[in-house]
Structure 1
Amino acid sequence: MHLFTLRGEKLAYDPVSGSLHQLDEPAWRALTLWLRGEDPLDLGGELAEAGRELEELRAQGLLFAPDDFASLYHPPVFAPKSLCLMVAQACNLRCSYCFAGEGDYGATGLMPVEVARAAVDFLLESSGPRREVELDFFGGEPLLNFPVVQETIRYGKRRARERGKRISFTLTTNAVLLDEVRERFLLQEEVNLVLSVDGRPEVHDRVRRFPDGSGSYRQVMSNIERCYREWAARPRSSYCYLRGTFTRFNLDFASDFAHLFDLGFRHISLEPVVAPPSAPYALKEEDLPLLLREYERLLELYLRCWERGDKVYFFHFELDPDGGPCLTKRLSGCGAGFAYVAVDIQGDLYPCHQFVGREEFRLGHLETGLARPELVESFRQAHVYRKGSCSSCWARFLCGGGCHASAYFANGDLLTPYAIGCRLMQGRLECALYALAHKKALDLSNPEKAI
């Protein structure tokens, strides 16, 4: 059980059943006693009454639900559902926090179309019985290699139809080259778009600069605003998210959320930077209290919008307890190394894009297949029940064990999670659970929605 308070409310979350309970003072005290090994029924009065109500919830499997998955869970075999295609190991920006060495991952160049086609065939073949697969265009900056992006989409859709599968595409771009021609093609093909912008102009331009040192905000925002308006103008099966990174330079990142909202954007993600501890922009342990308060400030802004009927979506607050991730994803996270792989410009295979260029993590090659089954196995076994701090963490089924790359770069071990990342994840999940309950309450207060 996880007990926490937020916005003056006392809440209890049962991780196995996924139940969230709002508690009054007697129930909070009774549950606290239970967690200490004491029985509130022995104390009589309102504590005993609360204890009996809690006992009913436990009998219904909504409190203290036993976790039987540990003995039953077997990670799936290598069968990628998603493939990250590094179509460009080059970039037209020089973002100071880039983990990819200015976007080239140590090997500058553009992916030949033959490698891209081979990657599509590899995904469709190795995915086995899966009927739906995903391909993500990444870099560097993928729009530097736009002709290959176009050909890969056409080829992928044709080959998927021939095999009785469906393939979807996502493209992450800094939006510098996102002109109307490229935008039109991507929207017509219903490609999911992740548009990189860090928020306020001064925040964005401090870290996301052109090679000459000038800021990119004005050009990027002009393209993003046009593209987002066009995407939102009519219903589409694709999504379009603005994705920012916050660093030690903008610990007040809720203000960046507010800035993007004020510009008319309603699909926003702000992620903590991935950085070596020595970097001046890296988040530090001492920043955690401020960062956690900032998530709560963002929650206030978020709920204020919903309360007045202005729906906005913040990526980390959007929980779906009924139709969310399957059990495998809940226990193994992103599935890097067996359900998700990355392909570099030469056709080499890696567990994910953050490991590209690191020889010790090269899984094999498109032409020769997997050459490191033991490395695949190490990622398969990096699930929540193998990570000491994860196996007993209340957030394990919502987090999936965290980012493998962050764990490795912070601790040199896939099984030792990145501590700062864990604390941030727990804090934003508390906000997300509260937001979920609050939005459901808003729906129930609307008679038409209640019907």
Structure 2
Amino acid sequence: MAEYVFPKINAHCITVNGHHLVFSPGTAPPMRVGDAAFDLVQNCSGMTIRESAEWLRERHGETSGHVARQLAEIADLGYFSEPQPDLEDCTNNLPPPANFGICITHKCNMRCRYCFAGGLREADEPEDISYDTACAAIDFIFDVVQPPWANISLGITGEPQLRWDLIRDVADYGRKKSEESGIGVRFHITTNGLHASPEMLDYLQEHPEDMGVTLSWDGPPDVHNRQRLSRDGADTYERVSRTFELLRDSMKTRPSVTATVCVSEPDMAGVFAHLFEEGVRDLTIKQTRSVAPAITITEESLPAFKASFAELAELLLRADDAQMERLFTLAKDDALGRYIYRIAKRESFLYRCPGGRCGYDIDTNGDIYPCASLVGVTDYRMGNVRTGFTKQAEKFFLEDTSLPKMQACQDCWAKYYCGGPCTYVSALTCGRFDVPYGPDCELIKYLIELAGYVVARLAVERPGLLPHVLSLREPVPMGPRPEALCRRAYDPLWGLPSEAWRVADPIVLTGSRDAGGYQRRRRPKNNKAAVHLKWDDEFLYLMTEVYGSSPAPPTTADVEWWFRESIQFAIDPGNDGGESRYPWKLPEGDYEYGVAGVDGKACIYDCQANPLRPSESGKALITREDDVITYKVAIPWQQVSEFAPSVGAECRFSIVVNDSDEGIRGWLQWTNGLAIRKAPARFGLLRLVE
């Protein structure tokens, strides 16, 4: 037998705060290794195991080839291979258009140092959008969006509260379109927080399910007041802080916050710590984008930015059990947070952002642009809401700005995490969309390395926490609440064949983006599932039939079973949609169960228990026939306090079907709020009937 020879190693090796990390971009999360392995992985291409073991003994005094053998096993798994995402495949699998912004007004009552509005703008558009144009924008959105949701930001430039009357009318029209089309809608506004009008607060209280708010708040008073001034030059910190309190009291959930950092104030950890102490739990920190050296990042200011982000990473990792909320505070679009989620989820990107691909922004004259920063820049105009997209613009953003077309990026180790240069930054600083801005590019590569360090430390030090960090910032849109029926069983079902469990109107999960289910995976499969629900005075009966599932390796008790074939379901018996302090656990009084085949037998897990443990009551059975897996579960009602089963009784309910085809976790779900994060407000309604 030929002796094993190491293949060509595609790995990025770095040392962060004394920890050696090995990256294989896009194929596996970063690995933390010792000195010998770190040295070997950079030099072993073309060596045999025997040669590499001898090489190790000469350089590190190793007495055996165990390090070389371990690395050979890892290389055989494809860890050090370069991903090769296909442009056509990536384009075909882009999420459908779902995120839209409508510019309500260009007027603003503040004078921020770094304001991007008008930085490149050429178009001569009205200051305020007209009601007719806004309605045309809503009509356009519902023409191009696919079920189940449309996410619409009202006010992408200017201060939306200056035209709250128009925002209210446009949102009401959007809800009307939602009812007519059956497509859910969620609105969002971003405000400078200079004041919180009673009209806005009342409206948020009237519409807690579909109105979100982001507040611009740059951190401690001295930092915020230097960067964000009112039109008359007055400080604004106290007013913004008060607005946050009013919004928090008026909304069902806390408002999110965006903090912008300038060259003169690169204290990410200080900004984070201050805003966290003030009660912020959904935070995006970003650096400014401008041509002014006093504001944006330059070669001279780059080291300070890197050091500041490193301090933020250490602050996150120092969180003890009582401070774990820190780990869940950075939003998915945060400068550092986005790469933490990408690396840990092993995602590869051929585009920098969704702009112009599945997200669009609409100017006051109805013109369509790829993002808020490019609104009014006619070179990047994509069409108009009354005439639709231009084919040339669609080709430009789907093909011409894709990573394979960016020659400057082809030899970069981080390209599949980054996705290429930001069109706006490149146009602003370099005058071309396909030329990366050097300092910005170097900072992003550093942030990717830093994110890998965070992920590697979490994987070693808090492995059970990492999956929750990954899923927390997935978007969870709101909309019409799905309903399902649970039919009465007139005889005990346990022991009866599947025909007795089936109902005529099951919950059907197809993996499509509809109210029936939504599948998350790198490459969606054609799995589908049918969920049959029945009840009697003693038990809730649930049978889930999963079709098209590939055989999976057996699961043992020491494996996180939710990453394999399994189901999870949850009940909110009080039907109150309560909010939990932690995103990985339901509120007190709600119940979540998992069912998986463990060590060859069906096991029910009480997911609310700490630590997670099998449930001592209830019954479960798992069978497989060809490509169909059938889960049967009977949960005693006595486990579900505060709920008395009877005809017409209602509770909130959600179910997730997990699988691991090709070794990659995917899932089908009925309603958001369980797989992505624990949020009973997103559950569907389950009604007990005859």
Rounded to whole Å, the distance in 1 between the matches of 2:68 and 2:440 is: 35
Q: Which residue of 2 aligns with 1:314?
A: 330
* Counterpart check, 1:92 vs 2:109: yes
Q: Is the 8 A contact 2:120 2:428 kept in 1?
A: no
Rounded to whole Å, the distance in 1 between the matches of 2:315 and 2:398 is: 39
How many Å apart are 1:163 and its aligned residue?
A: 2.1
One-letter code aligned to 1:12: V
Q: Which residue of 2 aligns with 1:147?
A: 165
* Counterpart check, 1:3 vs 2:21: no
One-letter code aligned to 1:332: Y
Alignment of 1:60-75 (within 5 A): 60-61=77-78, 63-70=79-86, 73=89, 75=91
* Counterpart check, 1:228 vs 2:248: yes
Alignment of 1:311-390 (within 5 A): 311-312=325-326, 313-315=329-331, 316-317=336-337, 319-320=340-341, 330-370=349-389, 372-381=390-399, 382-390=401-409
- SS, match of residue 133 in structure 1: strand
One-letter code aligned to 1:51: A
* Counterpart check, 1:448 vs 2:610: yes
- SS, match of residue 230 in structure 2: coil
Provide the identity percentage.
25
Q: Is the 8 A contact 1:197 1:242 kept in 2?
A: yes
Comparing 249-258 with 428-437, greater Cα deviation is found at 428-437
* Counterpart check, 1:304 vs 2:313: no
* Counterpart check, 1:203 vs 2:219: no
Q: Is the 8 A contact 2:370 2:382 kept in 1?
A: yes
For residues 378-417 of structure 1, what are the alpha-carbon distances to aligned partners after superposition, in whole Å with 9 as ceiling and x for unaligned? 2212112222343443333333324211122122222222
For residues 215-255 of structure 1, what are the alpha-carbon distances to aligned partners after superposition, in whole Å with 9 as ceiling and x for unaligned? 21111111113323554xx5x5xx73211111112023322
Q: Which residue of 2 aligns with 1:435?
A: 454
* Counterpart check, 1:42 vs 2:51: yes
Q: Is the 8 A contact 1:344 1:356 kept in 2?
A: yes
How many Å apart are 1:174 and its aligned residue?
A: 0.6
Rounded to whole Å, the distance in 2 between the matches of 1:229 and 1:25 is: 52
Change (3 A) 1:149 1:438: farther
Task: Name which of 257, 262, 270 aligns with 2:272.
Answer: 257
Q: Which residue of 1 aligns with 2:294?
A: 280
Q: Is the 8 A contact 1:317 1:431 kept in 2?
A: no
- SS, match of residue 318 in structure 2: helix
Rounded to whole Å, the distance in 2 between the matches of 1:428 and 1:78 is: 26
Rounded to whole Å, the distance in 2 between the matches of 1:440 and 1:154 is: 46
Change (3 A) 1:436 1:151: farther
Alignment of 1:110-259 (within 5 A): 110-127=128-145, 129-137=146-154, 138-186=156-204, 188-228=208-248, 231=251, 236=253, 240-259=255-274
How many Å apart are 1:146 and its aligned residue?
A: 1.3
Comparing 72-81 with 84-93, greater Cα deviation is found at 72-81
How many Å apart are 1:296 and its aligned residue?
A: 0.7
- SS, match of residue 307 in structure 2: helix
Change (3 A) 1:393 1:18: farther
For residues 93-113 of structure 1, what are the alpha-carbon distances to aligned partners after superposition, in whole Å with 9 as ceiling and x for unaligned? 111211114999864522222
- SS, match of residue 94 in structure 1: strand
- SS, match of residue 448 in structure 1: coil
Q: Is the 8 A contact 2:369 2:382 kept in 1?
A: yes
- SS, match of residue 242 in structure 1: strand
Rounded to whole Å, the distance in 2 between the matches of 1:90 and 1:306 is: 44
Q: Is the 8 A contact 1:443 1:450 kept in 2?
A: no
- SS, match of residue 267 in structure 2: coil
- SS, match of residue 12 in structure 1: strand
Q: Is the 8 A contact 1:195 1:241 kept in 2?
A: yes
| Greater percentage in helix | 1
Q: Is the 8 A contact 2:26 2:343 kept in 1?
A: no
One-letter code aligned to 1:27: A
Rounded to whole Å, the distance in 2 between the matches of 1:230 and 1:25 is: 54
Change (3 A) 1:2 1:57: same
* Structure number with higher relative contact order (C-alpha < 8 Å, ≥ 6 residues apart): 1
Change (3 A) 1:317 1:267: same
Unaligned runs of 5+ residues in structure 2 are: 1-10, 466-608, 614-690
Q: Is the 8 A contact 1:87 1:111 kept in 2?
A: yes
Q: Is the 8 A contact 2:85 2:350 kept in 1?
A: no
Comparing 153-162 with 137-146, greater Cα deviation is found at 153-162
Change (3 A) 1:374 1:247: same
Rounded to whole Å, the distance in 2 between the matches of 1:115 and 1:302 is: 45
How many Å apart are 1:74 and its aligned residue?
A: 5.2
One-letter code aligned to 2:66: E
How many Å apart are 1:435 and its aligned residue?
A: 2.5
Q: Is the 8 A contact 1:103 1:139 kept in 2?
A: no
For residues 54-89 of structure 1, what are the alpha-carbon distances to aligned partners after superposition, in whole Å with 9 as ceiling and x for unaligned? 11112222x123423246545259963221111111
* Counterpart check, 1:83 vs 2:83: no
How many Å apart are 1:343 and its aligned residue?
A: 0.9
Task: Name which of 428, 448, 466 aligns with 1:409.
Answer: 428
Change (3 A) 1:78 1:343: farther
TM-score, normalising length: structure 1: 0.87
Q: Is the 8 A contact 2:343 2:451 kept in 1?
A: no
One-letter code aligned to 1:419: G
How many Å apart are 1:449 and its aligned residue?
A: 4.8
Q: Which residue of 2 aligns with 1:31?
A: 41
One-letter code aligned to 2:38: W
Change (3 A) 1:163 1:395: farther
Rounded to whole Å, the distance in 1 between the matches of 2:133 and 2:347 is: 32
TM-score, normalising length: structure 2: 0.59
One-letter code aligned to 1:282: T
For residues 295-335 of structure 1, what are the alpha-carbon distances to aligned partners after superposition, in whole Å with 9 as ceiling and x for unaligned? 110112222235543412123326446996976xx322323
Change (3 A) 1:185 1:323: farther
Q: Is the 8 A contact 1:90 1:108 kept in 2?
A: no
Task: Name which of 304, 308, 311 aligns with 1:294.
Answer: 308
One-letter code aligned to 2:330: F
Which is higher, the Rg of structure 1 or of structure 2? 2
Change (3 A) 1:101 1:333: closer
Q: Is the 8 A contact 1:89 1:104 kept in 2?
A: no
One-letter code aligned to 1:348: D
Rounded to whole Å, the distance in 2 between the matches of 1:353 and 1:252 is: 26
| Greater percentage in strand | 2
For residues 11-45 of structure 1, what are the alpha-carbon distances to aligned partners after superposition, in whole Å with 9 as ceiling and x for unaligned? 1122121322110111101111136x666741424
- Count of residue correspondences: 439
* Counterpart check, 1:16 vs 2:36: no
- SS, match of residue 84 in structure 1: strand
